[in-house]
């Protein structure tokens, strides 16, 4: 489900997104994910969640698009697929390229500062169903809440943080980081769901 990724590989992902959004006003979600290549679910979850924590995540329609992306990704993880296949209606969704590129530029210093921490730890955890199945369910729950409560200021970004940790853990095969994201995400989902009562 996940391929090994190194800090230099993470920089490569950032470079790919940067190049895909250069000199264009908008980019479709399908084209953006195609720029990542076939790398499993980790980078998809990471990209979507980080986008929600940056200013681009506050633009109208972005929480809806990311929420749908997380729902689809979580469902396909639950079914045991090796990579994400977007439905056509979601792949055609357009996003603002300039804001995505600005977010990418903000990520670069963070990657440089933490490159010594971004390495594989307990990699087998990222392949075990005991992590992937509850992770997939939690990702779907996060996506559903982003769709339902995307209008609440700050809530989509708060929901996105543990998804980013989970996605980063899968991407660099750091099982402890993926587990941390899952542990944080579950009570956060319970609290957010309480708001819907």
- pLDDT tens per residue, range 62-84: 889 899 999 999 999 998 887 78
Beta bridge partners of 196: none
Mean per-residue pLDDT over the chain, rounded: 83
- Does the structure show a pLDDT above 80 at 99? yes
- Does the structure show a pLDDT above 50 at 13? yes
Mean pLDDT in residue range 19-36: 87
Domains of the chain, residue spans: 7-194
For residue 3, the model assigns a pLDDT of 44
- Does the structure show a pLDDT above 50 at 34? yes
Mean pLDDT in residue range 97-121: 79
């Amino acid at each position: 489900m996940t391929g090994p990724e190194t800090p230099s590989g993470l920089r490569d992902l950032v470079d790919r997104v940067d190049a895909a959004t250069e000199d264009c006003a908008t980019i479709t979600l399908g084209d953006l994910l195609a720029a990542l290549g076939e790398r499993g679910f980790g980078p998809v979850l990471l990209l979507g969640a980080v986008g929600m924590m940056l200013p681009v995540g506050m633009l109208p329609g972005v929480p809806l698009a990311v929420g749908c992306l997380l729902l689809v990704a979580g469902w396909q993880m639950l079914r045991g697929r090796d990579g994400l296949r977007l439905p056509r209606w979601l792949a055609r969704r357009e996003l603002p390229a300039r804001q995505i590129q600005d977010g990418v530029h903000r990520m670069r210093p963070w990657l440089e500062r933490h490159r010594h921490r971004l390495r594989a730890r307990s990699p087998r955890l990222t392949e075990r169903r005991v992590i992937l199945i509850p992770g997939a369910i939690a990702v779907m729950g996060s996506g559903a809440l982003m769709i339902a409560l995307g209008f609440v200021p700050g809530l989509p970004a708060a929901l996105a943080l543990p998804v980013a940790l989970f996605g980063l853990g899968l991407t660099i095969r750091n099982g402890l980081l993926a587990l941390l994201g899952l542990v944080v995400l579950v009570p956060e989902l319970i609290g957010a769901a309480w708001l819907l009562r």
